């Protein structure tokens, strides 16, 4: 039912905001040159939602939170490598390293990992990869594609809508919707 709820949220909030100017004024009009890069972002966005839901169905919430908490250190390194940004300060890097050490400690004591090994982390690992990609690619999009804040939100939600609807139909969620 998660995909169905996401589709309803997009329909009820994002799409009407274009016409009723709920948030941030009128978003930018759709232009093919801007739709293409957002298409890549939206595919990764929907895939990350799917991987997150699969991870939550197979693992406990704490494991997903631990993986999500580790994303800032990966993103800071990817920002440095691909966007030319500075590495974190020593103080920030130390804090991020403490988070990673805590995550490693968690994994060493995780029952799922003890029983299934790395296979237990397939979905959450894909989720981690995708959210790191989204954070870095999203920064690149905001920098390279000239849109207003409401335009960025509108493009993301409108272009994600058909993908989420396909997931909802493909997984049979619409049959169980309440």
Q: What digits encode the pLDDT tens for the residues 141-155?
A: 988 988 877 788 888
> What is residue 108's predicted lDDT score, i.e. its pLDDT?
79
End-to-end, the C-alpha distance of the chain in Å comes to: 8
**pTM > 0.75:** yes
Where residue 164 falls among pLDDT bands split at 50, 70, 90? confident
Q: pLDDT band for position 134 (50/70/90)? A: very high
**pLDDT at position 14, please?**
52
Mean pLDDT of the region 149-171: 82
What Rg value do the Cα atoms of the chain yield, rounded? 18
pLDDT at 17 over 70: no
Q: b/e string for 113-147 if b means 16 or more Cβ within 10 A?
A: beeeeeebbebbebbbbbbbbbbbbbbebeeebeb
Taking the C-alpha atoms of residue 126 and residue 53, their distance in angstroms, rounded to an integer, is 11
**Residue showing tokens 């309440």:** 178
pLDDT confidence of 133, banded at 50, 70, 90?
A: very high
Find the angle CA(107)-CA(112)-CA(115) to the nearest 5 degrees. 110
Give the Å distances, CA to CA, from 78 to 140, 142, 150. Answer: 12, 16, 26
CA distances from 164 to 11, 38, 56 (A): 12, 15, 18
Q: Of 149 and 5, which is predicted with more confidence?
A: 149
User: What CA–CA distance (Å, rounded) separates 29 from 155?
Assistant: 9
More confident residue, 106 or 7: 106
What is the mean pLDDT of the segment spanning 97-119?
81
Look up tokens 């997150």; give the residue: 52
Q: What percent of the chain shows pLDDT beyond 90?
A: 31
């Amino acid at each position: 039912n998660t995909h169905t709820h996401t589709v309803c949220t997009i329909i009820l909030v994002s799409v009407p905001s274009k016409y009723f100017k709920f948030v941030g004024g009128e978003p930018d009009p759709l232009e093919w040159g801007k739709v293409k890069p957002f298409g890549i972002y939206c595919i990764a966005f929907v895939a990350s939602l799917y991987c997150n839901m699969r991870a939550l169905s197979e693992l406990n919430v704490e494991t997903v939170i631990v993986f999500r908490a580790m994303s800032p250190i990966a993103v800071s390194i990817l920002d440095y490598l691909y966007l030319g940004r500075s590495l974190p300060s020593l103080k920030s890097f130390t804090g991020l390293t403490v988070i990673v050490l805590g995550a490693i400690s968690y994994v060493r004591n995780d029952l799922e990992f003890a029983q299934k090994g790395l296979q237990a982390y397939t979905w959450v690992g894909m989720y981690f990869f995708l959210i790191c990609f989204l954070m870095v690619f999203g920064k690149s999009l905001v920098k390279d594609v000239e849109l207003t804040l409401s335009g960025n939100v509108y493009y993301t939600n409108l272009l994600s809508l058909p993908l989420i609807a396909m997931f909802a139909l493909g997984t049979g969620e619409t049959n169980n919707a309440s």
